[in-house]
Each structure stands twice: as C-alpha cells, then as structure tokens.
Chain A
Amino acid sequence: MTTNGWIQILVFLGLLLAVTKPLGVYMSNVFERRRTILDPVLRPVERTIYRIAGVDETREMRWTEYAGALIGFSFVSIAGVYAVLRLQYWFPLNPQQLPGVASDLAFNTAASFVTNTNWQSYAGESTMSYFSQMVALTVQNFVSGAVGIALAIAFVRGIARKESETIGNFWVDTTRATLWVLLPICLAGALFFVSQGVVQNLRPYDTATLVEPESIAANPDDPDSQGKTLETQTIAQGPVASQEAIKLLGTNGGGFFNANSAHPFENPTPLANLFSMLAILAIASGLTCTLGRMTGSPRHGWAVWAAMLALFAVGLTAMYWAESSGNPLLGGTDQAASAFQSGGNMEGKEVRFGTTASSIFGVTTTAASCGAVNGMHGSMTPIGGLVALANMMLGEVVFGGVGAGLYGMLLFVVLTVFIAGLMVGRTPEYMGKKIEAFDVKMAMLAILVSPLAILVFSAVAVLSDDFGTSSLLNHGPHGLTEILYAYTSSAGNNGSAFAGLSANTPWYNTTLGVTMLLGRFFLIVPMLALAGNLAGKKAVPASAGTFPVTTPLFTTLLASVVVIVGALTFFPALGLGPIVEHLLMLAGETF
C-alpha cells in the first residue's frame, strides 16, 4: 500500500461524493416532474413517445399494475433479444458474417442483458454482429438500467407517500429515466471516451502485420495440435464508445470485447479508468440523495449513503491490502512498489492501471452490480477474490446496480428498522409507517431469493462431474469459488466473471440464465408489493420515542445488518472457498 495508492482512492471517493448531490437532486426533479434544463428538448420527444405508445402520462398505477407492466415489458425484451441473436446472420451490419447464436447462449444472453446482469458466456468480438450489439444489447443496456431506476423511484414513492394507492406509472418512469438521466450523460460520456482513444466505427476488423512474428508451440497434451507462427493480428473494433458509456453508467458491464475494460479500446487511459469507475457508482450514489429528497429527509439519504460507503471502504481496504501485498509464494520475485512498477499481485492486471486502480475497479464493479472488469478477478489473491465475491453476496447493495442497489438496500433498511424498533420498545416504524407482518414477509422473501438461487445451483453444480465441475479450470477451493462466483454474479445481476469457468455450456447457460431471472424478478415483485403496502399506510409523526433513521447509529446498524445477513448465509461456503484457499496459500499450496 502506497501513499500514491491512497491518494488515488481518496480522489475517487471525493469525486463520488461531489457528484452525489447534484445528480440526486436532478433525478428527484426529473421524477417529481419539476422543471429541468433539458425540458425544452426532451418534453416534445417524451410526449411523442407517449402519443405513439398510447400512454396516459397522468395516470398512476397500483403496485400490481406496475409489476405487471414491468414483467410484460421484460418478457417482450427477452423474446426480442433472443430473436435478434438467433437471427443475426440475416440482419445487416454483420461485416464478419457471424452466424446466429446457439439457443442456450441466446437465452442466457437475453436474460443477462434484460436483467441488467450482462453476464457474457461469449466473447463479443467473435460472437455478436454490430447489429446485435447495437440493437439488441445496447438498447437493453439503456432500458434495463432505466427500469432499475424506475423501480427504485417507485419504492421511494411507496415510502414517501401516505395513504396512497398508487406508486407511479411504469412507462413514464422508465421513459424519463432513459431520456433525462441515461441518454444525456451517456452522450457526454461517449464523447469523453472517444477523446481518450476509445474506438467508434462500423468497419470490418482490420488485419495488421506483426512487427515480430510469434511462434506458438504445439500442445503436448493434444496430439492433433501443431506448432505455428503468427504473422498477422486481427484488430477487432466497432461502435465501442457508445456502448462503453452506458455499459458503465447503467451498471451493465457487458463489454464490447471479451477483455472488457481491460481492453485498450474500451479503457485506454488511467483517466478513462477513473471516469469509468465514477460512472459505475454515480447513479446508485445519487439515488440515495434522491431518496432523501423525495422522503423529505435528506439526512436519511445521507445515512443510507454512509452505510454504503462504509461497506465499500472496508471492502476496498481489504482488497487493496491483499492485492498490494502480493503473492507470498513468489518469494524470489520483486513485488515491491517502486517508481517502475505498482507492485503487489500483478497477475491478471493491466500495467497501465496497477494494483490500486485495479483494486478500486474490482471493488467498484462488484459492489455496484456492474460486472465490467479491468483485470481478471480469478487471478486476484484469495482475499481479493473474497472481497469481490462478498460484495455480491451482500445482495448488491453496496451502492449496487442503478436503482437495484437502492431498492435492495431499502429492503435491508426495513429489516434494520424492524429490529431496531423492537429494541426501543415500539412497533417498528420507517418514515412513520408501521412495519408489520406483511412488510417483513415481503422483505424476507426478497432477501431470500439470492441465497436460494446461489446456494442451490452451486450445490448441484459441484456434485456433477458431467456438467458442473467439468467446466472448471482449477480444482480445490479455487474451483469452488469459480462456481460460487458465477452463480453469485448472476443472482446479484452483476455479470462479472471469475474466469476459469467455461460457462458456455447448456447447463451453465441455462441455470445461470434462470438465476439472473430469479435474482431480478423474484426480488422485484415482493419489493413492489412492499412498496404498494407502505404507500397505503398512514404515517405516524416522529417523536423522541421513534428510532431516528438519520444518525450514525442507524448507519452502523444498517451496515451491520447487511454484513450479518450475508455473512451468516455464506460463511460456510466461503470457508471452503476463498478462506481455506487463503490459509492454504499461507501454507504454501495453490490451485
């Protein structure tokens, strides 16, 4: 750990704090339909969309209708993406003549992009046509993010409203989230990325002649393989910058290229890297401020933000420590930080980022349910990998995905308030709303879904040689972590991969796809039910006897509840994965 590293971390956190309030205030204006500077441009567009779609923008929905609209919309989206991927060969903008995508992979990818997961069982440059990337995937990058924001806003309305039957209009919220929030920022972001050297074109891949031809030796285990010499290199390219901006801002994480943000055409410079990380957290962070403003308690928003930040900071410190400490088994290698190298465990990391920026990115992308990576998580030290895994296991609430992070965290807030309320001797209240049996039931249901999907599917996978463990590159604890990571990433709608697991098989494509759908919709439905129920309640005015949700004590308790629920659920599994791997590493054994 170096001073330079800590300065990078502090600058990043400082910038995050700086964007939170302006963005939060702007979003509360957008969703409470107050005037914004973009209205003259966007209002006509918005009205046209509603006129074409036949949406009455003044009509509000009960939670059941809201959920119905969401599910219908998502189902159509999945079907649409699936169709485009299967039929991409016949669509235009396919200069590489890429064939249609296999059915299990197309299902997995459709589920993945619609649920804002962006798990990629494929390598983009060799699987997806430009048309698929732009029409199927980038569109979903926008709308899946917009849906997440809409849901968070609906939940916040549920908390803020009193004796109301409705929680907003799904179509209006999604449209406004796209037009007012995602589009303008992405437009600016894409231009910034281009300025940093990210490519943006529709050309066929270039072929370059290597300055120094490279020989590849034959694989001794494979009698069919032959050694060969490479003289040319195919340089994949395409409309990258436009997808890059929304990939990060919408916490999608699906890279244009297989190497994702480690690829120099996606994330060329340290400045682009800093901007990327900020884009990942910006909306999730800003939404806490929106929560505060819409509920009339700005301090509550900051208290929730502080809980997220605290969990983030703990994870970041642990990962940065683990990664910069390097690998003790490489005793003879110089792993110290110096003027010429960032030091630490550089396996799977880009030299232009070093251990610090890779650690911040690793924590950011897993905390925020983004899934973009600028280094390989499977190559991290066991503790570094543990942090990435734990961030997702906490339920993607450490900032979390756009919208999803906030509503996920608010489920924990409901639980926290329930337990705290009991301890102060009152029927628990949140913003004056009594938390009763139905509310606890819905919150528990929503929180139960992820562990259920992660543990059950992982348990089945580790038992099967045929379809489960056969995909593993590494065995032992590291192999267990690879499988756990894949399901955790899917359930949390994160999408980052631990590498090492060949997930493009019918079993993994299907079960991971199902896990993504469970992690998204089986959480959203109880969450909306809770929102609808809260909206209908009377609010009790706060008194000295009410547990305040604005204080450091609340922040501490909220963070503790998140950690305790996650830790108690996953400790045994983590114990056999990264924890034992770490201990074995110290004893001199690796996998």
Chain B
Amino acid sequence: MAKHETTKRISIWDPSIVRTAAIGALLKLNPSTMWKNPVMFVVEAGSVLTTFLCLRDAIAGTPGLGFSVQITAWLWFTVLFANFAEAMAEGRGKAQAETLRRAKVETLANRMRSDESIDVVPATMLRKGDRVVVSAGEFIPGDGEIVEGIASVDESAITGESAPVIREAGGDRSAVTGGTRVLSDRIVIVISSNPGETFIDRMIALVEGAERQKTPNEIALTILLSGLTIVFLLAVVTLQPFAVYSGAPQSTFVLVSLLVCLIPTTIGGLLSAIGIAGMDRLIQHNVLATSGRAVEAAGDVNTLLLDKTGTITLGNRQAAEFLPVGGATEHWLADAAELSSLADETPEGKSIVALARRRYGVAPRDTALAGSTVVPFTAQTRMSGIDLNGRVIRKGAVDAIERLTSANEHRPPAELRETVERIARSGGTPLVVAENGTALGVIHLKDVVKGGMRERFDQLRAMGIRTVMVTGDNPLTAAAIAAEAGVDDFLAEATPEDKMQFIKSEQAGGRLVAMTGDGTNDAPALAQADVGVAMNTGTQAAKEAGNMVDLDSDPTKLIEVVEIGKQLLMTRGALTTFSISNDVAKYFAIIPAMFAVAFPVLDALNVMRLATPQSAILSAVIFNALVIVALIPLALRGVRYRPMSAEAMLRRSLLVYGAGGLVVPFIGIKLIDLAIVFFGLA
C-alpha cells in the first residue's frame, strides 16, 4: 500500500496540472457554472461591478484610478484563485484517472461465435454477453466473468501488485478486469459490460469530476456559507445609509472590498476542491468510490464488520506450542511432531515443522528418510503420520487418537483431556501426537492474528468506531480470537444471512456500518452496508453491490477509507472556522480605514497601524485572495488526521484553525501593507 502512495502521488504543484488548471480557472468564470458556488458568485458579481466602474472612471478621468484598478484586479484574482483550486483538484483527479486508463490497452479479442469458432475483433467492438477466449500472454479485453478454465493473471496494471493472482470459473474468484494480462493457461470469459461502461470507466468518469454531484454534507455547508454571505451582504449594503447618516459616504469599491473580505471566500473557494481531493486520496490508496457520498459516509461509520480470515488473522492456523503429557518431554514431543509432519504439505504441517526446529531445536531432517512410510491423512482415519524404524507416529484430532490408544490398551492420561480442552477453550485447535499408541502430547494450532491489529482497533475505538469480527468459527474459538485481536464484538458461525441481519439491526439503532466482501453471497450485505468495499478480486456481483472497490483487495484498507472520510469533513470544518475567524482582522483593517476621514478617533481601532486607508483596504483584499492560494495544498492534501477522541480533536482544530485564523490575518495584512507602502502602490 505504501508503495502505491509513492508511485501514484503527484506533486501538488505538478507543472502540467498547474498549466491546465490555470486555463480551467478562466473557463470556470462562466456565470452559469459560477452560480453553483454562491459565495464565489457574489465575488464575481462584485468584480464585474467594479470593472464597470473602473471603465466609467477611466473614461471620466476620475482621480484615484490606480486604487480602483488594483482593487478590481485583486477581486478578479480572488475568483480566479478559487477556480484554480477547483481546476487543480480536477486536474489531479484526471491525472489519477489517466494512470488507471493506461491500463486499458487497446487490444484485440478472440470472440467466440455460437459455433465455438473464433473471430478476432477489436476489444472496443465487444458487447455485453460476448464470449471471448484469452490465452497465456494475452490481455483480457474487457470486464467479465470466467465461465471456463483457470488462469494466473497479472493485475499489476490496476493494482500495482506484481504477484499474479489466480482466477477461475465458478466461485468468488471468477471476475476479471479489462486490461489485465493472463500469464498462464486459457480461459473463456463472458463480457459483462459494453465498452465505455465498464466499472473502471464509470469510476474514472467520477474521478474526473464529470459526474460530480454535491454530497449531502457539502450541500449543508453551502447553505451555511450562503446564509453567512447574505448576512454580510446585508451588513455591507446597510452600512452605506449609516455612513451617509454619519456624513461619510463610501465608494462602491470600498464597499465591494469589504463585502468580499467578509464573506467566507476561503472555504467557499476551496469547498469543491476539498471534495474532489477526497476522492483523489482514495485513489491514491487504490480505492475507487462510486460517489462522494460514500466517502462522506465512511467518515461517519460507527461499526466496522471485518472478516476474520484474511483481515484479522493471517488465514492459516499455525503451531504455537507443544504441550507434552504423561512422561513425554517437550523435545520428544517436538521431535515426534516434526517427523509426523515432514510429509505434510499443508500450512499447518509446515508450521509444525518450523516451530519444532525453531523453538525446540529439532535438527532438520530430509523428508525422504530411509525406511520410512508416510501415512497420509484420510477422512476415515482422520490421522496422518509416519512409520520409521519401528516408531509409529500419528497425529490427529483427539477422538481419533483416543480410538488408537484405547485400541492399544494404553489409557490416555486424564491430563491429555484437560490440555485438549484448555486449548479448545482458548480458541485454538488441539492436535494430539501419539507414538506407538501412547499419547505424547498436544500441538496447539492457533489462528495467528496479524501484527499491529490490536493497535489499529484501539485507534478505531478512540475514534468511536466499534469493530465486529465475522467468522464461521464456533463461538468459543471466535471469542478467543476476538479477545486476542482486541475487537469489540464478534459474530460467530456467521452465515451471509446473519451478516445481513446484523447490519440491519445496527442500522436500526442508527449506526452506520462499513464492511468488506468479495463473494457473490456478500453482495446483499455489501449493498445494505452504508460503506461496502468490494475486493477487486471478488465477483462482479460483489463489486456492483458495494459502493467502493479496493483494487489491492486488502480488507484492512477499510480503516484508511474511514480516515479519508473523516479527513474530508475535517478539512471542510477547519477551513470554515479559519475563514470566519479571519473576518475579525479584516474588520479591524477596513472599518477604521473607511471612516478615517469622518471620525479620526476610529484610528484607535487600527490596531495593525496600517499606513493609509487605501493601503489598509487593499491589504485586506490582497490577503483575502492570497490566502486561498496558500491553502490550496491543505485543501488538496486534507488536514492531518490523528485517531483521538472527538473532544481532543476539536480542541486541537480550534486552536490551530480558530485561534490561528484570528492571528494569521493580522500578521498577513500588516506584512502586505508594508509591502504596498514599500512599492508605493497605495
């Protein structure tokens, strides 16, 4: 995962994106698109008004044109900078999409006619339902489902993962993606979508922003910002009558400047960029989302459903310890266990050998020991083992071994039962080893929890998210693993219906549920969950049902997805707070400047000691425009997210963006004022 971040991360100021975005910023001045962003629309309207007044003044030869022109120019820059931010985010989205699209190499397809004969056509001519044959070395021409055969497929083009994956007909690993390459064997695929409508195509379109719609939270925030804009519009429009009453009428340039400085242009200008960047960040993590709504929902998730196998545990049971019983020593048991497993190619068998050698110092031996007879596991005996130089070594489930020992009239010690039960209770699988009919002891096979999971679950808990492990294991085993992994709850002996039921009951309690899944039987649950992340290796049905697809097929990625969702909202909140806090300094800059002539005493409010009324107003306007540019990187990257309680997080955000938003403009406006005086601009 870290690898993709580095390979796919695009520098914020990537020259080609900046160039395209600069042009995009101009195109976005079109009022028919601007009005969707009420805050910036007001700025544009103000800019048009002042431009018109500048022209009028220029024709009439009114003095003081330099100030008017500068104000007007900076107002236009304010709009352009906001458009630029949005265009930057879109450009980055497009660049991400381009890397995905590169995967879609123009290929030829071997289309099967109904009589099974082959017809070579360009991949773009394939339609849904067509059957194509793909052999080793060929590219898969489009998204589809394997109906015949098994093959290893190189999906690195879309996942970045170089190890090939196995895809086969039937079951949960039958989906293939266009643009990936078959490395071995031959498969028949039924194409599942028309060209331009494949899953990836649709996702790319979303990423590029073509189909972007405002998300619910974005709409709510836009309403808040529009409301504030109306308040400030009122405050500024009514200020003129008060000013006239007070004998200090104001020029339109000054009033428009005040208005633009007060309305929340910082967040208004960056709002859509933040939304697009959120989707981009998901893509950097190799996750494609079907909508921005899904990303937002991810930030709200209360309950995370995680499959045990592959997500929480490594997926294979491994030998954890040897527990001798009766008179056997640990080394004896380890030695016997190792011998019995030499020919056992299962992961469990291998782990027994490895443990015996590593921990108990059993010397490595060749599998092909002279005079040995390997006894393979059968469903009847439910034992496996080896006969070697008169040693008859067997390992198996406790009842199978007990049958063996009682047949030999060696009563198994009571200690054996106890040990077996203890292991079972702890969630492990006991495997008894016997030599010549005498039980030597028990191998403790354990589901191994992946490293670092406990810490991640602790973090999630700090974020207020409950993790629930889903497993087919019995409740005893499930409880033990749940305790070891540190999840909050578990769902044992879970069927897909149970999963669905669980999601529904959580949702009935008002909680949002996220889950990952790959199988067709996961599809209903994926659709029901608020955030359903389908694995790219999963079936088409699963992918269609979920609202995100993880190209790396890494179930733990759900956690990153949640963080990205939170980061998205936090970035909005932080910039809103910053934007509103900025107004305090702007008032202190502009109000004394406006009434410096009528009420010289108001200079007491000029705490920044700005040089002249003109320089004060100009400085505030310039600061207001530049701060948008300065915050583009923050909008695109998102504010830093650290798992902590809401209270702690809020305190930190308020300190940084609230208090910071109060202080920064005082400094910024003062510096700009000094620069303006230095260059003699006002």
**A interface with B by C-beta (< 8 Å):** 415, 418-427, 432, 435-437, 439-441, 444-445, 447-448, 451-452, 455-456, 458-460, 462-463, 469, 476-477, 479-480, 538-541, 543-548, 551, 553, 557, 560, 564-565, 567-573, 575-576, 579-580, 583-584, 586-587
Contacts and interface: CB of A to CB of B under 8 A. Distances in A.
A419 B577 contact: yes
Contact of B646 (A437, A455, A545): A545
A383 to B, nearest CB: 13
B234 A543 contact: no
Nearest to A476: B246
Interface in B173-221: 216-217, 219-221
5 contacts: A424-B646, A427-B300, A459-B237, A541-B302, A544-B645
Interface in B391-415: none
B136 interface: no
Interface centre among A419, A424, A447, A538 (most CB of B within 10 A): A424
Contact of A571 (B234, B245, B568, B591): B591
Given A437-B216, A575-B602, A553 B241 contact: no
A479 B512 CA distance: 57
B647 A551 contact: yes
B262 A573 contact: no
B370 interface: no
Interface stretch (B358-366, B417-425, B459-467, B474-482): B459-467
Contacts of B568: 425
Contacts of B583: 568
Contacts of A427: 216-217, 296, 299-300, 569
Given A447-B227, A539-B510, A547-B647, A458 B238 contact: yes
B574 A459 contact: no
Contact of A553 (B220, B239, B258, B650): B650
A371 B251 CA distance: 38
A557 B302 CA distance: 25
A568 B601 contact: no
Nearest to A460: B241
B604 interface: yes
Contact of B573 (A419, A565, A571, A576): A419
B75 interface: no
B573 A587 contact: no
B235 interface: yes
Report, nearest first, the 6 A-B pairs whose CB atoms are least far apart: A545-B464, A422-B573, A425-B566, A543-B464, A444-B227, A423-B573
Interface of B, helix, strand, loop or mixed by DSSP = helix
A426 B650 contact: no
Nearest to A577: B242
A459 B574 CA distance: 35
B649 A452 contact: no
Contact of B580 (A439, A448, A456, A568): A568
B502 interface: no
B582 to A, nearest CB: 11
B202 to A, nearest CB: 25
B446 to A, nearest CB: 31
Contacts, number: 211
Contacts of B566: 424-426
A576 B223 CA distance: 30
Given A421-B573, A426-B646, A572-B236, A463 B245 contact: yes
B569 A422 contact: yes
B52 interface: no
Contacts of B230: 448
Contacts of B653: 423-424
B675 interface: no
Interface residues of B, number: 75
Given A423-B577, A452-B234, A456-B238, A545 B220 contact: no
A462 B242 contact: yes
Main secondary structure of the interface of A (DSSP, over half): helix
Nearest to A572: B239
Given A423-B649, A448-B230, A571-B591, A544 B464 contact: yes
A427 B650 CA distance: 14
Contacts of B299: 425-427
B428 interface: no
Contact of B235 (A451, A479, A579, A587): A451
A458 B241 CA distance: 9
Nearest to A586: B601
Contact of A583 (B236, B509, B602, B649): B602
B9 interface: no
B654 interface: yes
A460 to B, nearest CB: 7
Nearest to B657: A423
B260 to A, nearest CB: 14
B241 A477 contact: no
A455 B599 contact: no
A423 B463 CA distance: 13
Given A422-B576, A427-B300, A459-B241, A575 B591 contact: yes
B101 interface: no
B13 interface: no
A580 B602 contact: yes
Given A440-B220, A545-B463, A569-B231, 14 more contacts: A420-B650, A422-B573, A423-B657, A425-B649, A427-B217, A480-B246, A541-B511, A543-B464, A543-B465, A544-B646, A568-B231, A572-B587, A576-B242, A580-B601
A48 to B, nearest CB: 42
